[in-house]
Amino acid sequence: MNKVKIATVWLSGCAGCHMSLLDIDETLLDIADRIEFVRSPVVDLKEFPADGMDVTIVEGAVANEEHLEILHEVREKSKLVIALGDCAVTGNIPSMRNNRIPPQELLERVYGKERTVNGTLPTEVVPAPRSGPAGARGHSGRHMAARVPAPGRGDRKGDPRAPRREDAGARGQGAEVRVKEER
């Protein structure tokens, strides 16, 4: 029997959902002969293998450009994508800053001159933070999801249904990747 190939990724979040996964305790060992954790923060492979995953579990919200890239790659290379937990589904805690402060201002407040020694913004290695657009706040847009199309459902770049973070609604960065199965 082929093992089910599983990947897990954490975007902007607290790792608590990964801990909940580990909290199934010995059950994880009981099913170890049926699953293979290929790519995960708890294993060493750093790239998504080209032959793809059976299941990818996504924890956390899209809060910067790197998260968006990762999520696109996850969608392209996974048969099944599961959004696990509040941050992945609604934006939750990582989206709370959206109601107060635009990303650039956040960077300046946290890393700017008043707070740090040299006041240099970390542009080289820290991915640019993302946020929902102004005016998209409020309850009405909250459940609009950024739908990430399954592979083979049209070119991501040219497809109007393609995921645009701007569509994510009030919570801005709630990368709501509904479970979709490749058919």
Partner 1 sequence: MKREIRIDPVTRIEGHAKITIHLDDAGNVADARFHVTELRGFEEFCVGRTLWEMPSLTSRICGICPVSHILASAKTGDAILAVRVPDTAVLLRRLMNLGQLVQSHALSFFYLSAPDLLLGWDSDPATRNVFGLFAKDPELTRRAVRLRSFGQQIIERLGGKRIHPAWAVPGGVNQGLSPKITAGSRRTSRRRSIRPARRSTCSRRRSGTTRRAGH
Asked if 46 touches partner 1 (CB under 8 A), the answer is yes
Separation between Cα atoms, residue 65 and residue 102, nearest integer Å: 15
Q: Give backbone dihedrals phi and psi of 28, rounded to 5 degrees, phi first.
A: -60, -40
- DSSP characters over 81-133: EEEESHHHHH-TGGGGGGGT--HHHHHHHHHSTTTSSS----TTTSPPB--PP
Asked if 109 touches partner 1 (CB under 8 A), the answer is yes
Asked if 127 touches partner 1 (CB under 8 A), the answer is yes
The CA-CA-CA angle for residues 178, 67, 168, to 5°, reads 50
Closer to partner 1 by CB, 15 or 164: give it: 15
Q: Total number of residues binding partner 1 (CB under 8 A)? A: 46
Closer to partner 1 by CB, 35 or 144: give it: 35
Asked if 14 touches partner 1 (CB under 8 A), the answer is yes
Separation between Cα atoms, residue 97 and residue 81, nearest integer Å: 26
The span of 124-132, 135-143, 161-169, 175-183 binding partner 1 (CB under 8 A) equals: 124-132
Asked if 21 touches partner 1 (CB under 8 A), the answer is no
Asked if 126 touches partner 1 (CB under 8 A), the answer is yes
Asked if 73 touches partner 1 (CB under 8 A), the answer is no
Q: How far is CA 162 from the centre of its chain?
A: 16
Q: Where does this chain bind partner 1 (CB under 8 A)?
A: 10, 12-20, 22-23, 25-26, 28-29, 32, 36-38, 41-46, 63-64, 66, 92-94, 96-97, 99-101, 106-107, 109-110, 122, 125-127, 129
